[in-house]
Amino acid sequence: MTPERYQALLRWLEARPALKKLVIALNRWLPAVPFACYPLLLVLLNVRWFRLLSANRAAALDFMQLIARAVFVPAFVFLGGTLLRARLNFPRPYEQPGFTPLVPKETHGKSFPSRHALSAAVLAAVWCYFYPAAGACMVVVALLICALRVLAGAHYVRDVAAGALLGFALGAAGMWLL
């Protein structure tokens, strides 16, 4: 996004103060949703495991492998995304002259892929594997996080698109194919 286009977007938001406040608040708090819900998923999975353990030990052992995937797939995707963005070190939009972000940031570089988008998407993929309805809600949350990161001026569209696609694709592959 060019500084001119972004500034036009900011002017549009400035004309709608309530919407601007909502975007700022959601940008700050919505990324907490997938991360706060992830421990809940692990608790739900362990409750299922304990129930299986008393009913069918073999099934419980198989399910334990799925729980391990639910832990290790997001961890490895997050680690891989972090290493990739550090290696590529793409600049952030607000590093351009004339670009003033809606939400001021101090970070330089490490914009591609967006780690917020990547993390939310991989967690959505894990939710989709076990609880498809909740997973669909998490996909919506991940997409909103992507939009908010661009509106806040922290990332380009390419950054959040790559993060979301990588996160979901690797999360789905890790859960369904391993």
Q: How many Cα atoms are found within 13 Å in the side-chain-facing hemisphere of 36? A: 6
Is residue 91 left, alpha or beta, with left meaning phi > 0 and alpha meaning psi from -120 to 50? beta
Q: How far is the C-alpha of 88 from the C-alpha of 163, rounded, in Å?
A: 13
Q: What is the pLDDT of residue 165?
A: 98
24 versus 5: the higher-pLDDT residue is 24
Q: Kindly state the average pLDDT of the residues 154-168.
A: 96
Mean pLDDT taken over the chain: 94
- pTM recorded for the entire structure: 0.92
24-67 pLDDT, tens digit per residue, is 999 999 999 999 999 999 999 999 998 888 888 888 888 999 99
